[in-house]
Structures are given as structure tokens and as C-alpha cells.
């Protein structure tokens, strides 16, 4: 059983419920929950945090790994191939979050060669599919990630123009990057002020109309929780 997350373990790592993370990953909540199921129940990823109440608490790095997994699954890559690739990447990167590591881009260009699986092996087909879809599906996503210079792990995710997830700010909630303000705060103020952007700017003098507009556009595109 996973222990409850301690307050100090959450600082700077981001914290998301499974339902919230599913919105940013772009998959149904139930699908995301299966990625983090117990290993004996075919779970692939291990959550960084414990539980908050009855729900799993996911970190920013968990969210990045889940997004890579979801995109590979959409392309028909089997969970078995993803699991094997991730296990090998753990050794290659020496990281518990290999899908969130900067070296993922380099490794992804030579998957079949790195795995040294003969073409006659059924696993070769899975790995070949993985390598073929990687440049078109995974590499564009990796370009939206900023990596930490020391750990080489994902440090910031650009969600839309002007809006990022940064686990060091507001526990990883979406923020307008220029002013480090949660998009939800700005949009709530906009709705409460008769949908007038100028009123929001007067409430929050550090913001500009462009900041508020960026928050509105992001929140409007964000799917609602199922």
C-alpha cells in the first residue's frame, strides 16, 4: 500500500489528482489510472507521491511520463513494448522517470538498434513501430518541454502560448508564465467582472490584456473533467 504524501515531498514537484492530470495528458481518467495501477495489475508507471485521501497524487514528472505513454498507445504501440523500452531507459538514463529525461529524444532515434532484437523476434515489430512513430508523435511533444540543466529532467511544460506548467510555482497548476499567475484565477476574475478584460487588469496591475487573453484561450480549450 502506498503511504500518504507528506507536505514536504510535494514542494517543487507539482501535485495533480488523476482526474486533473488526465485533462493535461488528454486521456480519460480511467485510462490514466490504469497506467499507475499496481504492477501486479499491469500498471506501467509508479506515482512519485502517495495518496491524498482516496486518490493517487501524481507529480509533474509523472504527468510527463503519462503523456509520452498515452501518445505511444494512440499509435498502436503495445504496453509490453512501452514497458520494455521504459525499463531499458531506466538503465540508460539512471533515472526513475526516463520518459521525462532529456536523453529520451536521442534514444528514440535508434530504438531498434539499441534493443538488439533480431528481426525474427515478435518484439522487433513492436520496437519498429515504436521507432517509426517516435519522430512524428513524441519529438514534437518533447520540444514543448524545458529541461533542468543539472538533472536533465523535465522542468517546465509549455501548454499553449504564454501558459506553462511549472512544478515550482503554484504546485504545478497552469500559469501565465510572464506574471506567474494561475490561469484559473484570471479567468475566474474575468467571469466575475462581466467578462471585461480591462477590469481584470485593474484588479491585478502586474497583468496585461494579453496575459488575461492567454489565460482565457487556454481555459476555453481545456476539456472538462468527465
What phi and psi, each to the nearest 5 degrees, are found at residue 14? 80, 150
Answer CATH for 7-156 from 1.10.287, 3.30.310, 1.10.1660, 1.10.3470: 1.10.1660
CA distance 69 to 63: 10
pLDDT tens digits, 55-82: 789 999 999 999 999 998 998 888 888 8
The sign one gets for the Cα dihedral 79, 80, 86, 87 is: positive
Q: How confident is the model at residue 132 (pLDDT cuts 50, 70, 90)?
A: confident
Residue 171 pLDDT: 94
Q: How is the chain split into domains, by residue range?
A: 7-156, 173-221
Residue 42 pLDDT: 61
40, containing H or E segment: none
Mean pLDDT across 36-58: 78
User: How far, in Å, are 14, 115, 138, 202 from residue 73 at the CA level?
Assistant: 25, 19, 11, 46
Q: Is the pLDDT of residue 7 over 70?
A: no
- Percent of the chain whose pLDDT exceeds 90: 58
CA distance 115 to 123: 10
Q: Is the pLDDT of residue 225 over 80?
A: no
Amino acid at each position: 500500500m502506498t503511504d500518504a504524501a507528506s507536505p514536504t515531498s510535494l514542494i517543487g514537484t507539482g501535485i495533480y489528482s488523476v482526474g486533473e492530470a488526465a485533462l493535461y495528458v488528454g486521456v480519460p481518467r480511467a485510462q490514466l489510472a490504469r497506467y499507475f495501477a499496481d504492477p501486479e495489475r499491469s500498471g506501467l508507471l509508479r506515482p512519485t507521491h502517495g495518496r491524498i485521501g482516496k486518490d493517487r497524487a501524481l507529480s509533474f514528472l509523472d504527468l510527463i511520463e503519462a503523456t509520452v505513454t498515452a501518445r505511444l498507445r494512440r499509435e498502436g504501440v503495445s504496453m509490453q513494448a512501452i514497458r520494455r523500452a521504459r525499463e531499458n531507459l531506466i538503465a540508460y538514463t539512471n533515472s526513475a522517470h526516463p520518459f521525462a529525461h532529456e536523453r529520451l529524444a536521442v534514444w528514440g532515434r535508434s530504438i531498434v538498434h539499441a534493443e538488439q532484437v533480431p528481426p525474427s523476434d515478435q518484439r522487433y515489430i513492436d520496437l519498429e513501430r515504436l521507432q517509426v512513430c517516435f519522430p512524428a508523435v513524441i519529438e514534437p511533444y518533447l520540444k514543448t518541454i524545458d529541461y533542468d540543466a543539472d538533472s536533465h529532467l523535465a522542468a517546465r511544460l509549455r501548454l499553449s502560448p504564454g501558459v506553462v506548467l511549472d512544478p515550482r510555482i503554484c504546485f504545478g497548476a497552469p500559469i501565465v508564465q510572464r506574471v506567474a499567475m494561475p490561469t484559473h484565477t484570471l479567468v475566474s476574475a474575468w467571469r466575475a467582472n462581466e467578462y471585461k478584460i480591462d477590469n481584470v487588469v485593474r484588479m491585478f496591475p502586474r497583468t496585461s490584456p494579453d496575459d488575461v487573453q492567454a489565460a482565457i484561450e487556454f481555459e476555453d480549450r481545456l476539456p472538462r473533467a468527465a
